[in-house]
Chain A
Amino acid sequence: MATRTDTSAPEATKVPAKAIEGRSLGRIAWTRLKRDKAAMAGGITVILLIFMAVFAPLIVGWFGHPPNEFHQDNALLAAELGGLPRGDFLFFENSGISGDFLFGLEPQNGRDLFSEVVYGARVSLLIAFLATLVSVLIGSTMGVIAGFFGGIVDTVISFLMNVFLAFPLLLFAIALVGVLPDKAFGLSGNSLRIALLIFIIGFFNWPYIARIVRGQTLSLREREFVDAARSLGARGPYIIVKEMLPNLVAPILVYATLLIPTNILFEAALSFLGVGVQRQVVGEPGVTWGGLLSDAARNSVVHFMFFPGMAIFITVLAFNLFGDGLRDALDPKSKR
């Protein structure tokens, strides 16, 4: 962003030059991003994961069995081993991994772990994306207001951010999910839970975005083009929307991308602790990676922990790689 205004200043009168300059930031970032193999790998994984979540029923139809189907016949689950699946694969003892059950079977109830992991992506990504959106909306608004107006407004908002950072967030989120009712806002069951989780996770993470936006706004406010706009008679709201926001898009985009994996971990932690989306036997299964891990913790069977855990790990890693790459690509001061 720094380069954009600096270089365009000498030929600010030429309209076409400005258009080319405007495009070049995105193009520079894209060429940089393309060269970054780790970021591209992360980005492609993210896209594949989104496809997996959207087309979960199709994928499960091709490679597995419906997530709520129980396979309890003695050929698959060994009654003499307390319901552990039959069959070893590598170090996955008693996993039941086969061409038919790619990730093996769940002990005791014999559900197809592959399809559960595939369906788990749905809840995880849905909550992470929408919660990030909530954080970005609240955080950018608060950050811009604090940075632009300064004074008492800034003091109050900054204090509020500090209060949020002083909260034991996970504890608060768990407690909050616990006290809320089973029916509200015309929603019930898991739809209500998902909505609440989105709101709670998003609401607790806004200071993270707000701090960055506030800092950027503070430095943008002192720049010449803002002075120029002001001297031409532009008012606060116009300057914020037309002059500041375009310059804030890049940092917001980067930190939103980096907030998604945090939110995935947050949701998985809540599910692991048993306060996330609840499992359903009929309809949309409501299976989560954190929930699967929490079930797996109860019986020491390694494949049951490994696949849901790896799903969280790969998803979070992919977003982190992509976010890091995006930050390097969009940051003109980047040392690469």
Chain B
Amino acid sequence: MAGPAGLECPAGPAAQAEIVVTFFIRRTIGAVLMLFVVSIATFLIFFGLPRLAGATPETFAARYLSRTADAHAQQVFAEKLGFYDPLWMQYGRWIKAIFVGTDYDYGTGIEHCAAPCFGYSFRTNHAVWTDLLDRMPVTVSLTVGASILWLVTGVGVGVLSALRKGSFFDRAAMTGALAGVSLPPYFTGLMFLYFFSYQFDLTAPGGTYVDFTDNPGEWAYSLILPWITLAMLNAAAYARFTRAGMLDTMGEDFIRTARAKGLHERVVVTKHGLRAALTPIITIFGLDVGLLLGGAILTESTFGLKGLGYFAIDAIGKQDFPQIMGVTMFAAFFVVVANLIVDMLYAVVDPRVRLS
């Protein structure tokens, strides 16, 4: 669709809009396809791999039953849950439940599980979907606060470093950034907790979380250390990206042109340099936020924050398959959607993308 005509002479607004729409549709189809592949992989890992490793339909069923259930009960249950069916049929049922819901027949009556149905937990019998929604606010709070913090500091430090290349500030900032990317968040988190909370009692201890709607002040107080911990790691990486991008951009011809036109240096840096350098940063930012929305596993488990990451670790530790599969799909969904949004924003901002 990217004819040479489209590159040379700008097409009319109608044709432009058409190109954008086609691009959006193509990318959306790509995203759906991606989720489809991820769902197959997830399903195979939990229902295909254990089969290869010697699990039987009965052992799957046994997970739903109490430990005292005998072989006969397991067989009946495996039959009921369809564990004897071929894998593709089981996969189909799982996907169908997500889209249109399903009915479970536990023998004591039919239970309806409404549309995004990820099944019920092996242990608690809670619907996985409502559990996921319950955990969402913690993870969203953590991600939003931390991402603002790291975007501002990371990009700020990166730009200043690039503009003062070789200066003391630049070298100190880049050494700091390299140290920052080398620090695991659970180490910094534990040290922060020890000093700021345990020793000096300045911040909330681990495991505290107050909902924003209950008390915004307490909410921020309970999240400040996790925010800093999570932001530090990413701020360091962003400072490095921004500096490299800025150095590349500031060496471009159009910057020289802007300067030659007599533009104020501030305008050259902000309107011409930064704008071009920020585009790839925004891409990475979108992906990072998408990834974190699926659960900031390490930060959440360090601080005992009961978000999606904590939920995932807990589910994996207890081998609760419906929960693990639910949270994996949930997380993958965020990554794919973030990818899609970033692509689309990019296409709006930078016409070269949709033509390629």
Contacts and interface: CB of A to CB of B under 8 A. Distances in A.
A304 to B, nearest CB: 10
Nearest to A178: B316
Nearest to A269: B298
Interface stretch (A7-15, A106-114, A313-321): A313-321
Q: Is the interface of B mostly helix, strand, loop or mixed?
A: helix
> DSSP majority for the A interface?
helix
Contact of B331 (A171, A184, A335): A171
B100 interface: no
In this complex, the interface size class of chain A, counting residues with CB under 8 Å from chain B, is: 35 or more
Contacts of A165: 287, 335
Contacts of A316: 182-184
A241 interface: no
B194 A302 contact: yes
B178 A297 contact: no
Interface string A146-181: 000000000000010011011110111011101111
A168 B182 contact: no
B216 interface: no
A158 to B, nearest CB: 11
Contacts of B49: 176, 179-180
Given A179-B46, A275-B316, A167 B191 contact: no
A313 B313 contact: no
Contacts of A269: 184, 186, 297-298
A47 interface: no
B38 interface: yes
B301 A163 contact: no
Contacts of A293: 186-187, 190
A272 B316 contact: no
Contacts of A324: 178
A163 B319 contact: no
A60 to B, nearest CB: 23
Contacts of A272: 184, 186, 298, 301
A273 B335 CA distance: 22
A67 B354 CA distance: 59
A166 B50 CA distance: 23
Interface string B18-49: 00000000000000011001100100011001
Most A Cβ at <10 Å: residue of B41, B316, B324:
B316
Contact of A167 (B33, B41, B313): B41
Given A316-B183, A317-B179, 4 more contacts: A165-B287, A178-B317, A316-B184, A320-B181
